[in-house]
Amino acid sequence: MPTLTAKYWEPLEGGKVKCTLCPRECTIPPRGKGFCLVRQNKDRKLVTTVYSEITSANYDPVEKKPLYHFHPGRVIFSIGTNGCNLDCKSCQNWEIARQDTPHIRQVFTPEMAVEYAGKYDSVGIAYTYNDPIIWFEFVKDTAEKVKEAGLKNVMVTNGNINIDALRELLPLIDAFNVDLKGMDREYYLKFSSFPNPNVWKVCEEIKKAGKHLELTKLIVPGFDEFTPEYFERFAKWVAENLGREVPMHYSRFFPAYKLLNTPPTPVEVIDMAYDVSKEYLYYVYVGNVIEPERESTYCPKCGTLLVRRVGYNTEVLFTPDGKCPECGRPVDFVF
């Protein structure tokens, strides 16, 4: 297993090290590893054990990230490794995220990644599947090369990264989908075993930097309240702190990982979240349900259909110069 000295750590007494990449700030004893499994104390230094190693690679529709307002209808070369700084109870990708010896892990250098990123009309690279925060060194090196090649970088992330590290990545990353688990610390502790989230501040920093941001919220029975007031809180916070134009994706839960006996979210709850949030936000979408009307984009000014989506089929209906064909309002899309 090749290793590389990591960034963002400090030495402690007794040969321990403290990782300062994410708010968890693990203290790691000699030969131990952090919560994310892939940052280890080797000879009193913090090393990454997943630099240049991937577990997953695919050409995915950009919509699958999900990013609905970023180069609609295109594909993006998507890669991930293993490890994660959270342990969410319904993780879809726990086999790579919460195991440090997944059965498939292949060598993949930044140079190789860039070569694949430019094929098949791909927009660039999405760092996804597990959380790219814990892959910081590889993501940064690769993202620099992707940018040099004139392509785009996308991070699909839980968003809990310390601000210094975020600021090092921000100039390189063009778009983020942040998976917002909840609106308070208790939710993160209960659902993700994460005591000190800073995702809300990270979202504000992303917007301040002028980067494209979309949010995903998985609605989980037993963890989320099924009331209009509850979803109003999400939508209001996004509108007031990030902007009404930030797309919000509400996703239906299906049994997975540690929640195999929890039933799927009732579709009516997803619809309620959509309806309530539309009062505050311009663009709200549903995920993991088949409702093309609630997966499509409408002009916030006149209601004209701007992008029709049926599953991952995308039909762009706004003008080539990015305006509503009916009222001429500029669309909130990166394309």
- Measured from the CB atom, the residue of 163 and 302 that comes closer to Zn ion is 302
Residues of span 8-47 touching ligand SF4 by CB under 6 A: 19, 21-22, 24-26, 34-36, 39
- Amino acid code (one letter) for 117: A
Residue 274: CA count within 13 A, CB half-sphere: 20
Q: Decide the pairing of beta strands 4-5 and 45-48.
A: antiparallel
Q: For residues 146 and 99, what is the distance between their CA atoms, to the nearest angstrom?
A: 28
Positions that interact with Zn ion (CB under 5 A): 299, 301-302, 304, 324, 326-327, 329
When CB distances are held under 5 to 8 angstroms depending on the partner's kind, the choice from ligand SF4, Zn ion, none that residue 19 binds is ligand SF4
88 belongs to an annotated ligand binding site: yes
When CB distances are held under 5 to 8 angstroms depending on the partner's kind, the choice from ligand SF4, Zn ion, none that residue 22 binds is ligand SF4
Q: Does 286 bind ligand SF4 (CB under 6 A)?
A: no
Q: For residues 244 and 227, what is the distance between their CA atoms, to the nearest angstrom?
A: 21
Residues of span 63-102 touching ligand SF4 by CB under 6 A: 85
- Measured from the CB atom, the residue of 98 and 211 that comes closer to ligand SF4 is 98
When CB distances are held under 5 to 8 angstroms depending on the partner's kind, the choice from Zn ion, ligand SF4, none that residue 34 binds is ligand SF4
Here's the x/- map for ligand SF4, 125-164, by CB under 6 A: it reads as: ---------x------------------------------
**DSSP output for 246-270:** S-EEEEE----TT-TTSPPPPHHHH
Please, what's the b/e burial string for 120-142 (b: 16 or more CB within 10 A of its CB; e: otherwise)?
eebbbbbbbbbbbbbbbbbbbbb
| CA nearest neighbour of 271 among 248, 289, 247, 245 | 289
Record the tokens describing residue 291, joined without a space. Answer: 């409702």
Nearest distance in Å: CB 36, ligand SF4:
3
- Measured from the CB atom, the residue of 217 and 309 that comes closer to Zn ion is 309
- Measured from the CB atom, the residue of 250 and 282 that comes closer to Zn ion is 282
Q: For residues 24 and 49, what is the distance between their CA atoms, to the nearest angstrom?
A: 19
Q: Contact positions toward ligand SF4, by CB under 6 A?
A: 19, 21-22, 24-26, 34-36, 39, 85, 134
Which residue ranges are tagged as binding site?
84, 88, 91
